[in-house]
Structures are given as C-alpha cells and as structure tokens.
Amino acid sequence: MSSQLAEAARRPPTSITLVVNGEPHQIDSPDSNKTLLAYLRETLCLTGTKEGCAEGDCGACTVVVTERHGNGTRSRAVNACIQLLATLHGKEVTTVEGLAGRDGSLHPVQQAMVDCHASQCGFCTPGIVMSLHALTTSTPNPTRTQVECALAGNLCRCTGYRPIVDAALQADAGGENGNCSSAWTQKDACPRGLEEAARGRVALDHPARRYWAPETLGEFADLRAVHPDAVVLAGGTDLGLTITKKRQDLPALLYIGRVAELRRIAFSKTHLEIGAAATLTDVFEPLVDHFPELAEWARRFASPPIRNVGTLGGNIGNGSPIGDSMPVLMTLGTSLVLRCGPERREIPLDEFYTGYQRNVLVPGEFIESIRVPLRVAGSRLGAYKISKRFDQDISAVCAAFSIRVDGGRVAHAKIAFGGMAAVPKRALHCEAALMGEIWSNDAVHAGMRALTQDFQPIDDMRATKGYRQLVAQNLLYKFLLETTTAGRISVVTSEV
C-alpha cells in the first residue's frame, strides 16, 4: 500500500489550484480549452469582467494576475478572454470585484474614477480600472506618459480619455496595500498550499482533451518528442483566438510557461540569450536598454496586457508576415537555437521561414532560445511601424535597418520588412545596392529602386500594394535623415 501511495505522489496533478480575489479554488480535470473569462463569468458569476472583442484588443476583460517572481511577487494586467484557465495553476487572479476594501470602501483607483467623472456607459470601466490598478501597484505616482502607455490596450468609446487619465494621475497609489483584499498583498500572505501547487509538472486528463505543463526543459523536450502533434502553448495571445474566434478545438496542448529555463534572459560576452517562453515585457527591457533606438517600436508592440503574457518565441514561431519582432531581429543578426530531444542546432532567423507560416522545424523540434548579437561599435539602428492607429494595431509595414559606415561608405547593411511579403524578409537587393557606397542621397535612391526587386506586396484591408511600396522606400529615406546631417532631402511621392 505504501508503494502505491508513493507512486501516486509522483504522478503529476490532474487538477489546478488558483486564487481568485483571495479565495482558493481547486478545479479537477479542467477543460484545457476553457478561458479564464469563461470561468470567471460562467462558473464564479464574477460578471464585472466583460467580454468585448474576445481577442485581446478592447481590454474590457482585463484582470490582474499575481505570481511568485524571485523572492517576491509580481502583478500584471492580462486579457482574461484569451488567457487559458489551465495556465493559471499556482497563481492569483484579481478582478474588479476584488478591489474594494474589506469595509466596502472603494479602491483608490475606483474612487478617482468616480471623482473625475471618468465613466459613462461603464462597459469598459472595469478593464480600465484593472489596468490602472496594475500600473499603480508597480509604479507609484505614475507620469502621464506611463498612464497613457498602460491604457494602450483599453478602448473607451464614449467617455473620452482625458478624465480617465486625470483619474489615474489623481489615484492615491500609496493607499493600495491597506485597501486591497488581494491574498498576496501582504508578504507571506499566500494561502497555504498554493506555493506547493505552483511546483512540479501538471498533466490534465479531461475526457476530450489533454494538457501537459512540464516544469523542466528536459521534461518538455521529452514530451515534445513523444507528442509531436500537440500544439505548443506559450502566452496564447494568438493561439487563444483559435478557440475564441475560429471556434476550433485544440485536443492536445503542451504548455511551456512553467519551464524556468525557457523564461531565462541573460547577457553573455557576445549576445543576449532569450528563452523562447520569456514574455515580451521581460524581453523588451534589456533589449531597449542595449538598443535605445528600439524604444518606440517596443512601446507600440501590441499592448501591456498582451506583452505581459505574449512571448518572443511565440511571435517568431507563429511566423506571421506582419509579426513586428522578426524584421528587427533579422537586422540584428539574430539566430535561433532549435532543439529536438537532446539534439540542438543553431540557424539564422532569416533562414527559419520557408513560406507563409511555414518553417524549418521538423516533428518534435522546438525553439529553445533566441540569440541576439551585442551591438557592434559604430552601428546605427532604426525601427519603424506604420499602422492606422498608433497604439494596439497591426502593421501595414514594419521596417528595420542596421547600417555601419566606415570612412563614409557603407561597410555593413541589413534591412528587413514585415507586411511586404508572405514572410518577414530581408531586402537583399537593397542591401547589395548600398554596400560599399557613400551613405548619401544617391545611395539611398539606388536602395529604393532595389526594393522593387525585393518585394511585390499585396493589396489588403490594411494598405494597398502601391502604398506599401512607397512607404517602404520613404522609410529608408527617413533612416538616412536620422543618421546623417547631409542636408535637406525631398520625400519621394512617386516611384523612384
């Protein structure tokens, strides 16, 4: 009997445990396709969290997720509509219902929203409140710019943003800890057993679906080799739409968000090593510190709730032709470490894609890490995103340029675009036209002409092919203007 008990103890749990507004919940054999939003609204009847777009765009479903981070905790805003419930094992969720004080008093952000008349119809208000709660928890007394960035994923169609921003600036962040009912607000207040639940691999055996959440890289590699047809799940910011918008069933999911080795980010003497499951929020901080020219590109990449769970490895692996990370990474000379079982190989990112959302991965193989070379002295970098909205929008064109000039002539040139072809792609003809030439108006004219050989873009709802081609050419001009003092250069208004 004792051996049976020991074997049972070694088996991965078939249930998940999480905390919602201070109350622990154990869910036995949950449906791995169920979203957090569905659980909150349909099971717990916490209907303050709204469903708007069901794709992480409008922010009406925003909640705050708290998890252990290092020796403390970290709280971040996420979109409940595309966050799969099973991925929250060992974490805490706070919804708008959980913000009020134990005595019924309003949370400081809620009170400021009332005082500043920052709500009309109220549909978007809970999500806005939760985004501001996440901001003021991590950033006491935020600036206007920080507030505007935090609200980039929240749409409000009737109130207008001025009173909302006013409320955020007025909220007393210093009073939050004493007023919030969160189970992890106070140090060591985590409900007993939840930390233990956060350790070890998970294997859920729902009648219709399977879900594995390994804890180590070795476990994941083994599971990937045994289940090559399982869908690898990281942040789910794109995969979640397969469930919520396409209404497709995902019978086997292999979640990598619990694998510490895949979340690791570290500098070596030659490159920045980024684990495939590292979130965009975590990646962008060291990346922008090392390459300050990428600040606006990172700021405009999706929205905070998306960046908080979306991963760089997922963005690359998804292979969308309008994925904003790939053009920039290609110009930096990024390579990918691919793994299948115990075997690894390294390939340049610009050789990873073989066609529209197709790549070189073989069955059982996965992206283990992304290697970004450190800056070469004298190099100049530019990254530009063209879209209909400044915030939270899909690119019509994403352009990235890396140039090094030696003795006035181009000694190195890497140029890549998204939105211009079936895959993110380097502009090899343009690069060749620039190499060895004086970095000047004449060289850029030649490079612009060469872009018509590199790309034959298409018309779609975001832009026409003519607009894309013209914008791509003018962005090369823009980069020249920003990296020289050669004088005034006219912007092109027709084909060169």
**What angle, 0 to 180 degrees and rounded to 10, lies between the N-to-C axes of helices 465-483 and 441-454?**
150
Scan for tokens 């978007």, then name that residue.
Answer: 124
For the chain, the domains span 16-179, 199-260, 264-483
Does CATH number 3.10.450.50 belong to domain 16-179? Answer: no
- Mean pLDDT of the region 362-390: 96
Average of per-residue pLDDT values in the chain = 90
Architecture of domain 264-483: 2-Layer Sandwich (3.30)
Edge-to-edge order in the sheet of strand 15-20: 23-28, 15-20, 92-94, 62-69, 72-79
In this prediction, residue 69 carries a pLDDT of 83
Say yes or no to pLDDT of 46 above 60. Answer: yes
- Give me 53's structure tokens: 């777009």
State the chain's maximal CA–CA distance in angstroms: 85
In this prediction, residue 13 carries a pLDDT of 67
- Mean pLDDT of the region 90-113: 93
Burial class (CB in 10 A: 0-12, 13-18, 19+), 168: buried
In this prediction, residue 369 carries a pLDDT of 98
Model confidence pLDDT, tens digit, residues 428-464: 999 999 999 999 999 999 999 999 999 999 999 999 9
* DSSP SS3 for 2: helix
Q: What is the CA radius of gyration of the chain?
A: 24
Q: Give residue 480's Cα distance to chain centre.
A: 30
Say yes or no to pLDDT of 381 above 60. Answer: yes
Model confidence pLDDT, tens digit, residues 4-42: 433 434 456 688 999 999 999 999 989 999 999 999 999
CB 38 within 8 A of CB 215: no
- Give me 28's structure tokens: 């036995």
Architecture of domain 199-260: 2-Layer Sandwich (3.30)
Model confidence pLDDT, tens digit, residues 121-165: 999 999 999 999 999 988 988 999 999 999 999 999 899 899 999
CA distance 88 to 90: 6
Say yes or no to pLDDT of 75 above 50. Answer: yes
For residue 91, name the pLDDT band (cuts at 50, 70, 90).
Answer: very high
Burial class (CB in 10 A: 0-12, 13-18, 19+), 109: buried
Domains 16-179 and 264-483 share a fold: no
Say yes or no to pLDDT of 239 above 50. Answer: yes
Say yes or no to pLDDT of 412 above 60. Answer: yes
Q: What percentage of the chain reaches a pLDDT higher than 90?
A: 82
Sorted by sequence, the CB contacts under 8 Å of residue 226 that are 6+ apart come out as none
Say yes or no to pLDDT of 108 above 50. Answer: yes
Task: List beta partners, residue 365.
Answer: 340
For residue 172, name the pLDDT band (cuts at 50, 70, 90).
Answer: low
- Mean pLDDT of the region 232-246: 94
In this prediction, residue 102 carries a pLDDT of 83
In this prediction, residue 196 carries a pLDDT of 63
**DSSP E strands, 323-460:** 335-340, 343-348, 353-355, 358-359, 365-373, 379-386, 397-406, 409-418, 425-426
In this prediction, residue 68 carries a pLDDT of 86
**DSSP E strands, 193-262:** 202-205, 210-213, 231-233, 252-255
CB 307 within 8 A of CB 299: no
In this prediction, residue 9 carries a pLDDT of 41
In this prediction, residue 486 carries a pLDDT of 45
Say yes or no to pLDDT of 60 above 60. Answer: yes
CA distance 289 to 151: 23
Say yes or no to pLDDT of 173 above 60. Answer: no
CB 262 within 8 A of CB 278: yes
For residue 490, name the pLDDT band (cuts at 50, 70, 90).
Answer: very low
Going by the DSSP 8-state scheme, the letter that residue 395 receives in this structure is -
- Mean pLDDT of the region 43-55: 96
User: What are the φ and ψ backbone dihedral angles of 466, each rounded to 5 degrees?
Assistant: -65, -40
247 sits in the region (left: phi over 0; alpha: psi -120 to 50; else beta) called left
In this prediction, residue 330 carries a pLDDT of 98
CA distance 448 to 1: 76
* DSSP SS3 for 184: coil
Task: List beta partners, residue 64.
Answer: 77, 94
Model confidence pLDDT, tens digit, residues 273-310: 999 999 999 999 999 999 999 999 999 999 999 999 99
Buried-exposed string 61-100: b where 16+ CB fall within 10 A, e elsewhere = bbbbbbebeeeebebbbbbbbbbbbbbbbbbbbbbbbbbb
Query: Which of 38-47, 198-207, 355-364, 444-453 shows the lowest per-residue confidence on average (mean pLDDT)?
Result: 198-207
